[in-house]
């Protein structure tokens, strides 16, 4: 079963209708290997209206198909979530997003549980990089490091 099929299957299984707009949107977003913004989809999928694009994205996030990623500034990016639990590597220059998983970190975070009366319900890890492609294209790390306190 392809990714496309499995997404459509999931919607069908959960009682949502498979409409033309939804199929067009799924077709478009699975092409975005490195994530996309809502407005990118609005522009790309002219067959679907603004409201439908936003509604469909929300639906897919709710269904666990998409992963919403709030950026420090600008609109959030969405990625098709391959792994059930994962984190993100984000290029600070082009905004592209990749998934990763690091069991050492998972274990360390687990060990924090109940340290001071709070109940841990989850966590999120984002690693900011200058991706190989951007570096090759001449982007320099220094100007970026300054505006990213995350270091």
Partner DNA sequence: TGTCATTTGATACTCAGTTTCATCAATTGA
Partner DNA sequence: TCAATTGATGAAACTGAGTATCAAATGACA
Total of chain residues touching DNA, rule CB under 7 A = 24
For 98, the 3-state DSSP assignment is strand
Confirm or reject binding of residue 89 to a copy of itself (CB under 8 A).
yes
Rounded to a whole number of angstroms, the minimum distance from the CB of residue 93 to a copy of itself is: 9
For residue 148, the partner it binds in a copy of itself, DNA, none, with Cβ less than 5 to 8 A by kind, is a copy of itself
Residue 101 or 148 with smaller CB distance to DNA: 148
Kindly list the distances between the CA atom of residue 64 and the CA atoms of 79, 81, 82, 94, 144, in Å, as whole numbers in the listed order. Answer: 11, 7, 10, 25, 32
In this structure, what are the phi and psi dihedrals at residue 77, rounded to the nearest 5 degrees?
A: -105, 155
Give the binding site for a copy of itself (CB under 8 A): 64, 67-68, 70-72, 85, 89, 91-92, 100, 102, 104-105, 108-109, 112, 116-132, 135, 141, 144-145, 148-151
Give the binding site for DNA (CB under 7 A): 12, 16-22, 37-39, 47-52, 54-56, 58, 74-76
């Amino acid at each position: 079963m392809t990714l496309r099929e499995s997404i459509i299957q999931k919607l069908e299984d959960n009682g949502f209708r498979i409409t033309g707009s939804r199929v067009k949107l799924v077709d478009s977003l699975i092409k975005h290997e490195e994530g996309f913004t809502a407005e990118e989809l609005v522009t790309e999928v002219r067959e679907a209206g603004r409201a439908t694009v936003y509604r469909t994205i929300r639906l897919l996030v709710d269904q666990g198909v998409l992963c919403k990623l709030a950026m420090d500034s600008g609109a959030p990016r969405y990625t098709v979530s391959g792994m059930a639990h994962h984190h993100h590597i984000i290029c600070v220059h082009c905004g592209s997003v990749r998934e990763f998983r690091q069991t050492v970190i998972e274990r360390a975070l687990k060990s924090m549980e109940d340290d001071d009366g709070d109940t841990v319900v989850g966590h999120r890890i984002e690693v900011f990089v200058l991706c190989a492609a951007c570096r090759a294209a001449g982007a320099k790390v220094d100007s970026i490091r300054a505006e990213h306190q995350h270091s």
